[in-house]
């Protein structure tokens, strides 16, 4: 995916400069802007991924994301800080693809960008996903751990399937609930936590320190992307 275009929207010049250097060293083409208006204008440049800070001087980052979505399906990665969970969840529920919390390391950022690019490339999800000792066969609805089949209830399987389909990306509570239980249950996060706990007990070697289904506190869950 080298050569992909990345648009950085952040009003801190230093952060833009650092990101540009860091990403260019990995072969990306980078352009930085510092306002929402400029970000919208830069869509003409056809970026492949947009890194968007939620706090912009001229307009609300959420509004910028919404307006980008009206014109383009380009993956949007929100650059946020801890304490902005509510805005993050709202942004994700409104179609932002992922977020990364400042200060972040370059490795993490590069991984998120790769996931975003893979999803946008609409690569079909491999019918068999293998991570560590976990094997999910989506064609045959088979889940195995260390070669032994694990029996999942239909709901547990649906939850896992949705997470695997979005491997590497954060999935909000609301998205999972709507997908698996239906729109009426979108606010019933307790349901979700109960099922997630059962699922982890069946899949994770140490459910207290999950390796496959990661918790994004206050936001949702993330299925560990296969390496």
Partner 1 sequence: MVFSSAVWWGRGPSITISVLSFLAVNFFFTVPYYTFVVASTQDIITLLALLAVAEMTSRLAARLREREADARRQAWEASTLHALSGTVSVSTQSQEVFRAAASRVVELLAARECAIYLADDAGNLHLHTRAVPGGPGRGDTPAVPDLAGRAFTTREALEDEAGFTLPLAVGEKTLGVLLVRPTEGATRLPEATQRLLRTFAQQLAAVIERLRLQQEAAEAEILRKTDELKSVLLSAVSHDLRTPLSTIRTASTALLQEGGHWDEDARRELLEMIDAEAARLSRLVGNLLDLSRIEAGALHPVKEWRDLREVIARAADHLHDRLREHPVVVDLPADLPLVPLDFTQIEDVLVNLLDNSARNSPEGTEIRVSARRQDSDVIVQVENQGPPIPVEAAARIFDRFHTLEERRRGMGLGLAICNGLVEAHGGRIGLERPGEPGARFAFSLPLEEPPAPVGERPSAVTP
- DSSP-based three-state secondary structure for 43: helix
- DSSP-based three-state secondary structure for 14: helix
Cβ of residue 112: shortest distance to partner 1, in angstroms? 13
- Strand 142-145 to strand 134-137: parallel, antiparallel, or no bridges (unpaired)? antiparallel
If binding is defined by CB under 8 A, does position 69 make contact with partner 1? Answer: no
Cβ of residue 80: shortest distance to partner 1, in angstroms? 11
Give the length of the chain: 227
Tell me the C-alpha distance between 156 and 163, whole Å.
11
Quick note: the x/- pattern for partner 1 over 78-107, rule CB under 8 A, is ---xxx------------------xxxxxx
The neighbouring-strand residues paired with 214 are: 222
Q: Which is nearer to partner 1, 12 or 158 (CB)?
A: 12
Give the H/E segment covering residue 4.
none
Cβ of residue 102: shortest distance to partner 1, in angstroms? 4
If binding is defined by CB under 8 A, does position 46 make contact with partner 1? Answer: no
Cβ of residue 121: shortest distance to partner 1, in angstroms? 21
Tell me the C-alpha distance between 199 and 130, whole Å.
17
Question: Interface residues for partner 1 in 102-141 (CB under 8 A)?
Answer: 102-107, 109-110
If binding is defined by CB under 8 A, does position 22 make contact with partner 1? Answer: yes
Tell me the C-alpha distance between 189 and 147, whole Å.
32
Task: Check: CB of residue 134 under 8 Å from CB of residue 149.
Answer: no
Q: Which is nearer to partner 1, 29 or 133 (CB)?
A: 29
Which of these ranges, 13-21, 38-46, 65-73, 118-126, lies near partner 1 under the rule CB under 8 A?
13-21
Q: At what angle do helices 85-93 and 61-71 cross, to 10 degrees?
A: 10
If binding is defined by CB under 8 A, does position 21 make contact with partner 1? Answer: yes
Q: Which residues bind partner 1 (CB under 8 A)?
A: 11-15, 17-19, 21-22, 24-27, 55, 57, 81-83, 102-107, 109-110
């Amino acid at each position: 995916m080298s050569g992909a275009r990345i648009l950085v929207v952040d009003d801190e010049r230093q952060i833009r400069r650092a990101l540009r250097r860091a990403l260019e060293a990995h072969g990306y083409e980078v352009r930085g802007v510092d306002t929402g208006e400029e970000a919208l204008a830069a869509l003409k440049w056809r970026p492949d991924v947009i890194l968007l800070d939620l706090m912009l001087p001229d307009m609300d980052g959420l509004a910028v994301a919404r307006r980008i979505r009206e014109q383009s399906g380009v993956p949007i990665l929100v650059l946020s800080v801890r304490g902005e969970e509510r805005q993050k969840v709202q942004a994700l529920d409104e179609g932002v693809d992922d977020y990364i919390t400042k200060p972040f390391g370059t490795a993490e950022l590069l991984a998120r960008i790769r996931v975003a690019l893979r999803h946008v490339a609409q690569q079909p999800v491999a019918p068999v996903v293998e991570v560590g000792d976990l094997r999910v066969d989506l064609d045959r609805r088979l889940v195995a751990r260390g070669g032994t089949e694990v029996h999942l209830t239909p709901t547990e399987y649906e939850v896992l399937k949705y997470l695997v389909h979005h491997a590497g990306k954060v999935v909000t509570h609301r998205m999972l609930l709507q997908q698996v239980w239906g729109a009426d249950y979108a606010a019933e996060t307790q349901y979700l936590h109960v099922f997630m706990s059962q699922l982890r007990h069946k899949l994770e070697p140490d459910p207290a320190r999950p390796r496959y289904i990661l918790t994004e506190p206050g936001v949702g869950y993330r299925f560990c992307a296969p390496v």
